[in-house]
Structure 1
Amino acid sequence: MSAADFVLIDDRLVPAAEACVPVSDRGFLYGDAVYETLRAYGGRPFQLPAHLERLARSAAAIYLRLPWPPAELAARLARLLAANRIDAGRVRITITRGAGDLRARPEALGPPRLVMTAEPLRPLPDAAYALGVPVEIAQRPRNLPGALDPAIKSGNLLNTLLARFEMRDPASYEVIMLNHQGELGEASLANLFLVDAAGVLRTPALASGILAGITRGLVLALAREADYAVREDSLPPSALLSAREAFLTASTIEILPIASVDGQPLPAAAGPVTRALQARYRARVAAELRLHPESETPPGEGRGR
């Protein structure tokens, strides 16, 4: 059997080839679900408590009561990682509202359904981390927070998927979405940072209508520990086009430099601030999970925040 042959559904390990959910499941029918994607190093999930906290916040925001305490979810994930013999892995935890009539009130629905997957990561080329990747600014804006808040990590990804489908350059790795006010928001599957001409590390504020990325939060903490000047604020698209450096953050890509925006190269793609934060991030992973160098994995594998 391969290293990703099992899926956990509720409390059962099921062969991946046999894993399924009923066609009546609201996650399948309506995207009525929440999820988290995270990374495993040396067979251990990184920042799992933070991901489970955000999962609970997302669930509360869509009126979905979770019957599993965080410790139980962590134990089930450990079972899956062991069964799949995962070393460097991409993990997804999905919780749907289960089956139920479309017109029913939340309290009349359930029980929720839990699905966990764990698979080996798909590596990005080393050059992506050394030289950066091309991105473009999206034509389609991010969801209005008052309609479907981007802070909720929900199963409905059409807004970001459509932005990706509409990318103009097939070579673009990511698309940077603007909010309803025309300000920088986030990438379709990652958060955004830039270094301005004064050397200040800047990222769109949460009030810009973005996901509170787990990796974003850790990078902000690492930058402040290193005494970088940091600002979370509203940013026009011109701030990215005039940046000296810029990078994307997500749990499974860590810190990925941006080489160009809309075909315009950045002056210092994979520049000194980006490289320093990459090193600090990997050191934090190794320290928290007590990894030995030989058990560390290539930096760029998979996606998710």
Structure 2
Amino acid sequence: MSDDPIYHVDGDLVPASEATVSVDDRGFRYGDAAFETLRAYGGTIFEWEAHVERLERTCEALSLAHGLASGDLRARIDETLAANDLEDAYVRLSITRGVQPGKLTPRPEVDPTVVIYVAPLPRGGLEGDSVWDGPATVRTVGTRRTPDEAIPSAAKTHNYLNGILARAELRAESEDGTGGADEALMCDLDGYVAEGATSNLCFVRDGTLHTPSTDGPVLPGITRDIVLESAAEVGISVTEGRYELEDVCAADEAFLTNRTWELRPITTLDGRDIGGGPVTDRLSRLYDERVERACYE
């Protein structure tokens, strides 16, 4: 991959240094856009159909009728990977409502802006390496997760202010100004644990896998779903519920999930040791096996 990577902007491959969108684009003005973060393993987009389904749910929540076929979007991603000579990569696909007059009310007619960019990541699967250098340090923050009644939690939009404020809080409270932790853990308005700024939370107690329910303000992560499915397939008990912070701190094991990190053990939560363990290791192995079958074999 060159020092000036190639982006896909509205149907054209352009160098990143020349890639632009209009200042009148609603994705810029209002965060009025949907996106997906994906992983390419061996040139294959992992769980593509699941990402397409979530993207469409987000667009439905935004009333964003973009009119683009999933095959068209996939072709643009494949072109971007090829243009950058990448097979193992981070992929971000964004669809905005496009350029419209500077009024808050969106017009029903949409000429969407579509942007795709990629970045190299290590090989995944059974022979792969982790993106992260070590287990995550996590701290709770005062910033609360936006309630579903305000902004649909299942919608993955460009409006990421909630997570930005959580991460900014980490930085402001750290002695050296670097953040002091790898992830900010947010609670809902009632004080129950919800999710990280960019991750879902899972923890293990007495052999049972627990995770905050998506009935609360929790994004239904695709990696999270795979982990829960894998656990059920091998007989690991799974419980989705509402948990207080002390429930997590008393866990035998805990880890975060997202598409880039995959499964990342939590070494400490608010300075208290937790760590990974046999269940985390087994689920990580199952995840790697799934990637290997789907993308490398």
Q: Which residue of 2 aligns with 1:213?
A: 221
SS in structure 1 opposite 2:54? helix
Among 278, 282, 287, which residue is 1:281 paired with?
A: 287
Q: Which residue of 2 aligns with 1:7?
A: 7
AA at the equivalent of 1:51: H
Q: Which residue of 1 aligns with 2:140?
A: 137
Change (3 A) 1:225 1:44: same
Cα distance per residue 1:5-51 (max 9 Å; x no partner):
21111211111111000111111111111100011111221111111
* Mapping 1:87-126, distance limit 5 Å: 87-103=87-103, 105-121=105-121
Change (3 A) 1:84 1:192: same
Among 181, 188, 193, which residue is 2:197 paired with?
A: 188
Instruction: State the TM-score, normalizing by the size of structure 2.
Output: 0.91
Number of residue pairs matched? Answer: 285
SS in structure 1 opposite 2:39? strand
Identity %: 38
C-alpha contact 1:3 1:86 (8 A) present in aligned 2: no
SS in structure 2 opposite 1:206? coil
Deviation at 1:110, TM superposition (A): 2.6
C-alpha contact 2:100 2:107 (8 A) present in aligned 1: no
Change (3 A) 1:30 1:126: closer
Question: In structure 1, how many angstroms separate the alpha carbons of the residues matched to 2:32 and 2:111?
Answer: 13
C-alpha contact 1:4 1:118 (8 A) present in aligned 2: no
Among 138, 162, 167, which residue is 1:159 paired with?
A: 162
Q: Which residue of 1 aligns with 2:243?
A: 235
Change (3 A) 1:44 1:72: same
Deviation at 1:108, TM superposition (A): 4.0
Q: Does residue 249 of the first structure (1) align with residue 257 of the second (2)?
A: yes
Q: Which residue of 2 aligns with 1:68?
A: 68
AA at the equivalent of 2:142: Q
Question: In structure 1, how many angstroms separate the alpha carbons of the residues matched to 2:295 and 2:4?
Answer: 22
Question: In structure 1, how many angstroms separate the alpha carbons of the residues matched to 2:24 and 2:110?
Answer: 12
AA at the equivalent of 1:195: V
Change (3 A) 1:126 1:155: closer
* Cα RMSD (Å): 1.7
C-alpha contact 1:56 1:66 (8 A) present in aligned 2: no
C-alpha contact 1:215 1:249 (8 A) present in aligned 2: yes
Cα distance per residue 1:93-118 (max 9 Å; x no partner):
00111111243643445311100111
Question: In structure 2, how many angstroms separate the alpha carbons of the residues matched to 1:125 and 1:67?
Answer: 35
C-alpha contact 1:37 1:91 (8 A) present in aligned 2: yes
Deviation at 1:89, TM superposition (A): 0.6
Deviation at 1:155, TM superposition (A): 0.3
Deviation at 1:121, TM superposition (A): 2.6
Instruction: State the TM-score, normalizing by the size of structure 1.
Output: 0.89
Give unmatched runs, 5+ long, in structure 2. Answer: 123-128
Question: In structure 2, how many angstroms separate the alpha carbons of the residues matched to 1:264 and 1:4?
Answer: 42
Change (3 A) 1:91 1:273: same
AA at the equivalent of 2:96: T
Q: Which residue of 1 aligns with 2:272?
A: 264
Q: Which residue of 1 aligns with 2:80?
A: 80
Question: In structure 1, how many angstroms separate the alpha carbons of the residues matched to 2:43 and 2:213?
Answer: 33
Question: In structure 1, how many angstroms separate the alpha carbons of the residues matched to 2:80 and 2:141?
Answer: 37
AA at the equivalent of 2:291: V
* Mapping 1:18-29, distance limit 5 Å: 18-29=18-29
Change (3 A) 1:127 1:69: closer
